[in-house]
Every structure is written in C-alpha cells, then in structure tokens.
C-alpha cells in the first residue's frame, strides 16, 4: 500500500500559516501613539474673567482679581509701582513668553516690570494683584487710595466702589 505524504504536508503548512497569522512583529504592531493620539496640552490662562461683587472682572491664573494703578501711564512701557508697592501689589507675570488669555478682550501684551521680569499689560497698562485679597475673586483692593481699580474684561477700569471698600494700600 502506497502512502501519500501530501496530507501531512498540507496539515503542517496549514499550522504554520495559522500561527503566522496570529502573531505580529514589532514592525506590524500598532504603537500606542498611532492608535491613541496624545491629549492636547492645555495651558492655564494667565488672565481670564470671573464674576465678583464688582461684576465681571479680569483675574490672574489663580483667580485673583487684577487691578490697574492710576499712577501708571498707559502705553509708557513702564510700571510706576516700585519698592514696597510691589510687595502690596504684585505684578501679574505671564507663565510663558506670551500671556495666555481666556475671555479677556482688551489688548494683552507685556512690558519689563519694575522687578525686571515680564509684566502683563491690558490696553497698554500694567496689571497687578493685591496682597490683601486672600481668596480668588476677592476685591479688597478696589478703590484703595483712590488709585487702584479692578479691570473689566474689555480693559476698562472699574471705578464703582466695592461693597466693603475699607482696605488700605499696605505700603
């Protein structure tokens, strides 16, 4: 009786082909980056807006109310707040080379502040926070010394008094 070697050979070939179909090489395997795009980087805004007892105001990246100093000359490229003033009224610094904003429609740029670091400006005026504001959205700096006023999202100076404006400048 004559045996055929064709059947075992065909079965062997079928096993090899099915094993090859189930395995992948590094070259064929999808990489996680190819199947799942990396999430977009989100930057925290250096300036955004918030609702306070003064209405909508500009706030810094920590939610602290942002103020103008009336002694600053718009468009001068300089801050009039120096020395002890900077302790009570810290300048707003951008986190990167250009300020990131959300909801602020006034023209945002930077100058070199009195502390030598980039300082954010709105409509050509340097902006500051107030050391006396302890929580996000506080407005204790509003109207201090009739020289410090919160900033509206479009860049206007808010001159209405805060409901309990009794703070002093601290310097």
pTM of the entire structure? Answer: 0.72
How many domains are contained in the chain? 1
In a domain, 146, yes or no: yes
In a domain, 37, yes or no: no
In a domain, 86, yes or no: yes
Q: In angstroms, rounded to a whole number, what is the distance separating the alpha carbons of residues 168 and 141?
A: 8
In a domain, 131, yes or no: yes
In a domain, 126, yes or no: yes
In a domain, 23, yes or no: no
Q: In angstroms, rounded to a whole number, what is the distance separating the alpha carbons of residues 64 and 169?
A: 16
- pLDDT for res 162: 72
Query: What range does the domain containing 113 cover?
Result: 47-150
In a domain, 89, yes or no: yes
- Identify the band that residue 171 occupies on the pLDDT scale cut at 50, 70 and 90: low
Taking the CA atoms of residue 40, residue 45, residue 51 and residue 53 in that order, the dihedral angle to the nearest 10 degrees is 160
More confident residue, 114 or 9: 114
- pLDDT for res 44: 86
């Amino acid at each position: 009786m004559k045996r055929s070697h064709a059947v075992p050979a065909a079965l062997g070939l079928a096993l090899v082909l099915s094993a090859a179909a189930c395995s992948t090489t590094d070259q064929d395997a999808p990489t996680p980056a190819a199947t799942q795009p990396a999430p977009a980087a989100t930057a925290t805004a250096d300036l955004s807006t918030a609702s306070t007892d003064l209405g909508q105001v500009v706030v810094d990246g920590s939610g602290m109310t942002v103020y103008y100093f009336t002694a600053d000359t718009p468009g001068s490229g300089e801050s009039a707040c120096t020395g002890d003033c900077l302790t009570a009224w810290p300048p707003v610094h951008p986190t990167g080379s250009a300020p990131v904003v959300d909801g602020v429609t006034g023209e945002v740029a930077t100058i070199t502040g009195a502390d030598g670091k980039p300082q954010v400006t709105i409509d050509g005026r340097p902006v500051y926070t107030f050391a006396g504001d302890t929580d996000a959205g506080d407005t204790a700096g509003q109207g201090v010394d009739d020289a410090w006023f919160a900033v509206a999202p479009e860049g206007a100076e808010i001159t209405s008094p805060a409901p309990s404006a009794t703070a002093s400048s601290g310097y």
